[in-house]
Amino acid sequence: MLAAVRVVLSVDMEGISQLEDPQEIIAFARPYWEAGRRRMTADTVAAAEGLLAGGADEVIVLDNHASGNPQNLLDEELPDGARVETWDVFDLGEHRVDAMLQVGYHARAGVEAFVSHTYVPGLRLRVNGEPVSESHGRAWAAGVPLLGIVGNEQHARTLGSLGEVPYLVVQRTSALHEARPAFDTPEAGLAAIREFAAEGLRTGGAIIGAPEGYLFEADLQVDDEHAVALAEAGWERRGETEFAAERRDWPQARPLLVAAMFGAFAPWMPYFTSFDLCSERAMSAVHDDPLMVRGRARFDEWLHSPTTN
């Protein structure tokens, strides 16, 4: 058993066990408030309970999903011994973290899977030629054993260099815009997550070696302003949509990632920053605003255009 005291539970949303409607993941849509947050919280609670039962003294939950609401989880439902923090995964070394578990994870961009993307729509990343996912980036940044990953089955099939990490499939892809639970009942899925988390801590997971002396590549479309920001962050433009940088270790990728994410996400920013989306009441007040209507329409269009993810 891993002698872990503090375990980080990194939670994303697209790969949550009972998620079916893609609008459950965005705060400017009613399904998010009606079901999505509760489903994300249920999987998180089950994983935290499993980690504590498996021997963790403390579980630090990182809400790693950007919905437009800065806090997706209902943290009052977490068990004793678990709490939400806003730590960046690159800074976990400063917080005496012993291991990481990833829950709610989805496939990377370029994979035909439910809401597949890498950090933001329109961004694809490669390290030494390998297409990488958010699982890769956060595991490398954490620098601690990865106990396992819980999420979509297409993510499990396309993990590449993370293929030896223990994986629990809780969601299956029907289409880019449609998923179905892998378990017959919600209770069965939550029980599986609970046991997977406990067993992951008991067995110690997998040691993930971060890349060194690597070529980092990004594929995204940006305007001139964001192209300048990419260059300032250290990216070299090598084509209309291709950028590259050579770096020594993974922490040096941090400013590159930030710049690439902001550049790719720029067209979506008005839908997430123009209104208060921090409560269901606030969202309801602007739900029918033309900009919000366009945002939901654009989201739906993106989900039906797999080549753009």
3-class DSSP assignment, residue 282: helix
How far is Cα 60 from Cα 83, in angstroms, rounded to an integer?
5
Residues 44 and 80 placed together within one structural domain of the fold: yes
Q: Is residue 307 part of a domain?
A: no
Residue 159 identity (one-letter amino acid): L
- Percent of the chain topping pLDDT 90: 93
- 10 and 102, same structural domain? yes
Residue range(s) defining the domain that contains residue 73: 6-117+134-203
Answering whether pTM is above 0.85, one says yes
104 lies in the same domain as 237: no
CATH number (domain holding residue 104): 3.40.50.10780
Give the tens place of pLDDT for each residue, 117-160.
999 999 999 999 999 999 999 999 999 999 999 999 999 999 99
Cβ distance 113 to 152 under 8 Å? yes
Count Cβ atoms below 10 Å from residue 6 Cβ, excluding itself: 16
Decide: 88 and 124 in contact? Cβ < 8 Å. no
Write the pLDDT tens digit of every residue in 165-194. 999 999 998 878 899 999 999 999 999 999
Domain annotation covers residue 47: yes
Q: What is the mean pLDDT of the chain?
A: 95
In sequence order, what E strands does the chain have?
Answer: 6-11, 58-63, 82-85, 99-105, 124-127, 130-131, 146-152, 167-175, 178-181, 212-219, 236-237, 242-249
Q: Does 152 share its domain with 218?
A: no
User: How many CB atoms sit inside 10 A of residue 27's CB?
Assistant: 24
Helical residues (DSSP H) of 92-183, grouped into ranges: 134-142, 153-157
Chain segment 204-241, per-residue pLDDT in tens: 999 999 999 999 999 999 999 999 999 999 999 999 99
CA distance 205 to 147: 4
Q: Is residue 234 part of a domain?
A: yes
**106 with 237, same domain?**
no
Which of 152, 178, 203 delimits the end of a domain? 203
Q: Which residues pair with 7 in a beta bridge?
A: 59, 99
- From the number of C-beta atoms within 10 Å of its C-beta (0-12, 13-18, 19+), residue 60 rates as buried
> Domain total for the chain?
2
Please report which confidence band the pLDDT of residue 1 belongs to, taking 50, 70 and 90 as the band edges.
Answer: very low
Residues 84 and 216 occupy one common structural domain: no
Q: Is residue 129 part of a domain?
A: no
Residue 219 and residue 179 share a domain: no
Across the range 263-279, mean pLDDT stands at 93
> Quick one: 182 and 37 in the same domain?
yes
Alpha carbon separation from 170 to 184, 191, 197, 249 (Å, rounded): 10, 11, 13, 33
Whether 109 shows a pLDDT value over 90: the answer reads yes
158 and 251 share a domain? no
Q: Would 299 be classed as within a structural domain? A: no
Q: Are residues 226 and 199 in the same domain?
A: no
Asked whether residue 277 is assigned to any structural domain, the reply reads: no
In a domain, residue 125? The reply is no
Q: Note whether residue 306 is domain-resident.
A: no
Q: Can you tell me the mean pLDDT for 21-49?
A: 97
